[in-house]
Amino acid sequence: MANFKRREFLKNTTLAAGALSLVGPATWAGANDRINVAIIGMGGRGGSVMKTVAALDRVEVVKVCDPDRNRREKWAAELEALTGKRPAPEVDLRRIMDDPEIDAVIMTCCNHWHAPAGILACQAGKHAYVEKPISHNLKEGRMLVQAARRYQRVVMGGTQRRSHPNFRKAIGMIHEGIIGDIYMARWLLCGPRASIGFKKPTAPPDSLDWNLWRGPAVEQPYHENLVHYNWHWFWDFGGGEMGNNGSHLVDICHWGLGRSKGLPTRIDVVGGRFGYRDQAQTPNTLTATHQYPDGTLLVGEIRGHHTGESTSWHFYGTKGHMRILTGGSFEIFLEGSKKPEPGIGNLPPVGKGFKKIDRLQFSNFFQAIREQRPDILNAEIEDIHLSNAFCHLDNISYRLGRELRFDPETETFPGDKEANQLLTRQYHPEFQLPEQV
């Protein structure tokens, strides 16, 4: 069975660096053939992705994997009802990696499994789609990028707005200079969250393999505030609202500013968990300020209680200001005008509940596999690693309660041992990451 010590695995295979064809395992014969897919993590998101992917031409979902028997059996039965074919349910994602029939793996599991599972997929010669955030911490995000490069895999991040035509139009206009040189980008995430209360440690339900669910996280008891959603608000498993939905918001700003900007050198985050006392560890409200070496600012705000404002993105340039709303419509205000430019950006929503956008995103993923061209990905893994890095940097600043100085070249905090320790995490001995991929 596969494990994270892939060096021993590689000794017994031909998966050496540079030895892999980009098209995937030997069972995948050519650009007109079916792509066999496994989906890991069968919650609501996994089920939605399963149905979207199964509806695409020449793509078949052959396995669904989840440590919870009820979830994997539910979605296997639902896909059988839709298509007449039942995907094989699997409890252990490592068996997915060992299956030579699988060409591509989609990770819709919990955040703490995203990068480890993606790295395993690359090492096993499979292409990977990794939901946001693509990593639990910054170091393993960089390792996932390295794995994609070393094993020449197509690896895509799950920030679907990169495939949204309205957002692509808005960001394209920014890159063309319609509002001049950008000196500040800002995002605002407004989403009330209720208290999760307190849950005591108990025995896990019989349907759940707790060891596999906990996976790379350190040993700890099961409690009902972890499975299956509130794990987002605990540092061992999630990254709070910053990693959850903030990853989508900051990605648009990072995209608009341009990849050449890289990462900031100064990060300062303040916030807290306001309005109630509960078991969660992560903040529900924060303000994050980032500054690049050239002085450009990127500012983000999470508001976890009621507010009259709406989730949005803002770009401020030397010629004007662009405001983008969640549906992708946008307004441009030029030369100090308080009225938006007529006939620009009033675009209709694309699809409902992002189903159409998911279809566009996954179509792009499979096209890149068939054409052997990672460069055509709308959300190529290194771009999304850089976007998600903001989430990790922000959480470190919040947890330490101070401003940080960061070196984008080394992706470390020079001379700051305390901060550098939070660039990674402690791993359970059974699921250790290798020192190198």
Listed in sequence order, the DSSP H helices in 351-401 are: 355-370, 381-400
Beta strands in 191-311 (DSSP E): 266-272, 285-291, 297-303
Residue 30's pLDDT is 47
pLDDT at 294 over 60: yes
pLDDT digits over 82-96, tens only?
A: 999 999 999 999 999
Per-residue pLDDT of 57-72, as tens digits, reads: 999 999 999 999 999 9
Question: Mean pLDDT across the stretch 171-175?
Answer: 97
Strands 404-405 and 266-272, bridge-based pairing: antiparallel
How sure is the predictor about 218, in pLDDT bands with cuts at 50, 70 and 90?
very high
- The 10 Å Cβ neighbour count of residue 274 is 11
What is the arithmetic mean of pLDDT over 189-212? 97
Whether 13 has a pLDDT exceeding 70, the answer reads no
Nearest-10 Cα torsion for 116, 119, 121, 125: -160
Looking at the DSSP bridge assignments, the partners of residue 37 are 61, 104
Has residue 423 got a pLDDT over 50?
yes
Q: How confident is the model at residue 435 (pLDDT cuts 50, 70, 90)?
A: confident
Average pLDDT of the segment spanning 214-242: 98
Instruction: State yes or no: pLDDT of 300 exceeds 80.
Output: yes
pLDDT, residue 32, reads: 53
Question: What DSSP state is assigned to residue 133?
Answer: S
Q: How far apart are CA 75 and CA 305, in angstroms?
A: 34
Q: What is the pLDDT of residue 434?
A: 83
The pair of structure tokens assigned to 154 is 């197509």
Report DSSP state, residue 143: H
* pLDDT value for 352: 64
* Mean pLDDT, range 273-277, rounded to an integer: 96
Residue 272, pLDDT above cutoff 60: yes
* pLDDT attached to residue 288: 98
Query: What is the pLDDT confidence band of residue 355, given thresholds at 50, 70 and 90?
Result: confident
pTM over 0.75: yes
pLDDT tens string 370-387: 999 999 999 999 999 999
pLDDT digits (tens, 9 = 90+) for 314-346: 999 999 999 999 889 999 999 989 999 998 887
Q: What is the DSSP letter of 69?
A: H
pLDDT at residue 436 in the model:
84
Residue 25, pLDDT > 60, answer no
Task: Compute the half-sphere exposure of residue 200: CA atoms within 13 Å on the CB side of its CA.
Answer: 1
Q: Which residue has the tokens 């290798």?
A: 434
Closest C-alpha to 360, from 372, 369, 350: 350
368 in Cβ contact with 374 (< 8 Å): yes
Q: Is 320 left (phi over 0), alpha (psi -120 to 50) or beta?
A: left
Average pLDDT over residues 9-25: 37
pLDDT attached to residue 318: 98
Contact 183, 296 (CB under 8 A): yes
Peptide bond into 116 cis (omega under 30): no
Question: What's the pLDDT band for 16 if we cut at 50, 70, 90?
Answer: very low
- Average pLDDT for residues 339-366, to the nearest whole number? 86
